[in-house]
């Protein structure tokens, strides 16, 4: 996307980023409701209306800065959907299911964007095909990044909740108590470029698969 102007890059990325983050959070709330907790539903968070989920820093500022800096590594976050584990039928297992729902939703979104890009590839008129292709590439990329980052077992990421389910209850309790430290670790990984190195290979191969689905 190097040939795009600054304005074009923002236009191309804005919808994929907002929908990737929004659908991720809605997936958490939807699975929580299925498992017995209606907190998110009662608070009106089971909606694809991005205004209900926007965190002005994580949903807008951080992605825009990353797009402007042309790092090639775009991510963000929304306001977390509230989940009360006391309402879940099987709290430990159900919290793991609620957590993994976010990354799975992102993988499904990546598949949808691959389909949109494939439509763009098949259209001969450039004014229609190029926006679809570029947005498809952006949608694939942001959703794969969000899925992979959230699978890392560091609190407060989704992967930590899955790991907590697999640990013995006492270990899981201690593990969950390091939430604030986990955020510091995550920030250090981001700032030192370690995270991009760790995710580089899986991200590359997943992108190649979805790009092939898109016919690119």
Tokens of 68: 């402007």
Q: CB–CB of 96/165 below 8 Å?
A: yes
Task: Determine the distance from the C-alpha atom of residue 129 to the mean position of all C-alpha atoms in its chain, rounded to a whole number.
Answer: 26
Assess if residue 36 is contained within a domain: yes
Q: Which of 74, 58, 49, 45 is nearest to 146 (CA)?
A: 74
Task: Count structural domains, the chain.
Answer: 1
pTM of the model: 0.87
Assess if residue 74 is contained within a domain: yes
Note if 3 is an active site residue.
no
Active-site position among 3, 25, 124, 126: 25
Cβ-proximal residues to 42 (8 Å cutoff; 6+ apart), any chain: none
Q: What is the pLDDT of residues 122-139, one digit of tens each?
A: 988 888 888 899 999 999
Assess if residue 170 is contained within a domain: yes
Assess if residue 29 is contained within a domain: yes
Assess if residue 121 is contained within a domain: yes
Q: What is the pLDDT of residues 176-189, one digit of tens each?
A: 777 667 778 877 87
Q: What is the pLDDT of residues 68-125, one digit of tens each?
A: 776 556 667 788 899 998 999 998 899 999 999 999 999 999 999 999 999 999 988 8
Q: Which of 9, 208, 212 is nearest to 118 (CA)?
A: 212
Judged by DSSP in three states, 61 sits in helix
Q: Which of 103, 205, 107, 87 is nearest to 162 (CA)?
A: 103
Range of the domain at 74: 6-213
Assess if residue 140 is contained within a domain: yes
Assess if residue 1 is contained within a domain: no
């Amino acid at each position: 996307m190097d040939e795009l102007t600054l304005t074009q890059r923002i236009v191309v990325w804005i919808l994929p980023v907002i929908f990737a983050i929004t659908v991720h959070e809605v997936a958490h709330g939807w699975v929580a409701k299925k498992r017995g907790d209606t907190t998110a539903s009662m608070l009106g968070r089971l909606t694809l209306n991005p205004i209900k989920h926007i965190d002005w820093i994580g949903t807008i500022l951080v992605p825009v800065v990353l797009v402007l800096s042309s790092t090639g590594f775009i991510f963000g976050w929304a306001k977390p959907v509230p989940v009360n584990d006391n309402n879940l039928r099987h709290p430990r297992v159900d919290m793991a299911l609620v957590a993994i729902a976010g990354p799975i939703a992102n993988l499904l979104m990546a598949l949808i964007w691959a389909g949109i890009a494939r439509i763009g590839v098949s259209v001969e008129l450039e004014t229609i095909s190029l926006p679809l292709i570029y947005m498809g590439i952006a949608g694939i990329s942001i959703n794969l990044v969000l899925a992979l980052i959230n699978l890392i077992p560091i609190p407060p990421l989704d992967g930590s909740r899955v790991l907590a389910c697999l640990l013995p209850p006492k270990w899981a309790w201690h593990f969950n108590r390091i939430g604030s430290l986990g955020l510091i670790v995550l920030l250090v990984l981001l700032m030192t470029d370690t995270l991009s190195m760790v995710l580089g290979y899986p991200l590359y191969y997943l992108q190649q698969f979805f790009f092939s689905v898109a016919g690119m």
